[in-house]
Structure 1
Amino acid sequence: MTVAQSEMTLEEFEAFDAAAPEGYHVELISGRLLVTPAPDGDHSEAARVIARQIIAERPDLWLYEERGLAVPAYRAGRIRADGAVARDGYFKGQPSWADPSGVLLVLEVTSGREQDADVDRVDKRDAYAQAGLPVYLLVDRHRGEAAVHWEPEGGRYLHVAKAAFGTKLALPEPFGFDLDTSELA
């Protein structure tokens, strides 16, 4: 469910977030309030597959699931990323909506509903690029592919690579390894 809101302040958002029913995620992206149900099991399994590979290749990093990030975009934003990869311990002492400057990769997995997928494909991608997050990885369950976007400049990612589930996807530095997508199929 998406609720359009053009003039929501951060204070109004925080009050709405605090009052949201358990099991729902509330986000503020480019001035729009987004309310979505908590992820399903397949969504969580996709994040686990990615996390395991990243940690195996880069044991100094950790994938923090369901991490709230203060992502400045068109207006001040608050995004609950499916995964935020940062150095182990980066989020210690940070508030619920953390500073994303130490995040090396942000992960989103499309929800079980196709009509919600463009939030991950477009809105979140653009917000992450505008915030200068170096790598954005999208697991698109509806298209059966993973896409990696990197090198943000001028509010857009300069590069994108895609791989169908069951094949390998080369992740850019600082990762520099091939992500195996076979378990995502």
Structure 2
Amino acid sequence: MTVMAAHVSRASVISVEEFEKLAVFVEKEIDTVRLEFINGRVGFKGMTDGNHTEIIRWLQKQCMQSSTDPWLYAGGDLGIEVETYRKGRAKPDAVLAPEGSFAGQGDWADAGSVLMAVEVTSYDSDTDRRDRKEKPAAYGEAGIPFYLLIDRDHATVTLYSDPDPEGGYRNARTVRFGDKLTLPDPVGITLDTEILKNYVR
């Protein structure tokens, strides 16, 4: 058993501090893996593919055309603190936050200034649990006003809103790729999702 496998096999009993040390080690040694600590367990977040990257680029362009602030921070390297109870750690594909929100913060930033977390599903066996179940629960508990899920498996975009401090969101609106979805203030843009049809298998 490798050192990494040994640590991960103890995922249900490691502390947040141990997880953070493990994440630094793994991400330094294996540049194709990112680690998260959600719902009391260590999860692997694989690297993105080209279509995934194009979806994030499209969303950045939409946000830039509407306003200069807030800013869509993208790339999946920004870690944020989520889950009050379990002290989770997540690496969203992108977050919308006022410019300068993460200055001076360490590897795992406070989620207090995040207006929207964004995830684009990956083609892996863990995406259902991670992006459709654990992430909405964690982001809602952290008080992030919106969670935008671009789901390539189902060809849908879902906007979760009205976070519940006990976990999750009280509202969710889903549209099919090709339809328009309005993201209310403070985001304040309408997404035409037609182009997303080009970025699915």
The two structures have a TM-score, normalised by structure 1, of: 0.93
Q: 1:4 to 1:109 in 2, by over 3 A?
A: farther
Higher helix share: 2
Residue 11 of structure 1 pairs with residue 17 of structure 2: yes
The answer for the alignment partner of 1:53 in structure 2 is 62
Query: Based on CA coordinates, which of the two structures has the bigger radius of gyration?
Result: 2
The answer for the alignment partner of 1:163 in structure 2 is 175
| Superposition pairs of residues 113-124 of structure 1, within 5 angstroms | 113=124, 115-124=126-135
Separation of aligned partners in 2, 1:82 and 1:179: 18
Offset of residue 115 of structure 1: 4.5
Match of 1:91 among 89, 102, 114: 102
User: Match for 2:20: what amino acid?
Assistant: E
**Aligned partner of residue 119 in structure 2, secondary structure:** strand
Gap regions ≥5 residues in structure 1: none
The answer for the alignment partner of 1:172 in structure 2 is 184
Identity of aligned residues (%): 37
Q: Which moved more, 1:163-172 or 1:111-120?
A: 111-120
The two structures have a TM-score, normalised by structure 2, of: 0.86
Residue 181 of structure 1 pairs with residue 190 of structure 2: no
What is the number of equivalent residue pairs in this alignment? 184
The answer for the alignment partner of 1:129 in structure 2 is 140
Offset of residue 4 of structure 1: 7.1
Separation of aligned partners in 1, 2:128 and 2:196: 16
For residues 69-96 of structure 1, what are the alpha-carbon distances to aligned partners after superposition, in whole Å with 9 as ceiling and x for unaligned? 0112441111001001001121111111
User: Match for 1:184: what amino acid?
Assistant: L
Q: CA RMSD in A?
A: 1.6
Q: 1:114 to 1:18 in 2, by over 3 A?
A: closer
CA contact (8 A) 1:146 1:165 kept: yes
The answer for the alignment partner of 1:44 in structure 2 is 53
The answer for the alignment partner of 2:34 in structure 1 is 25
The answer for the alignment partner of 2:92 in structure 1 is 81
Separation of aligned partners in 1, 2:191 and 2:10: 36
Separation of aligned partners in 2, 1:114 and 1:30: 17
Match of 2:44 among 35, 49, 68: 35
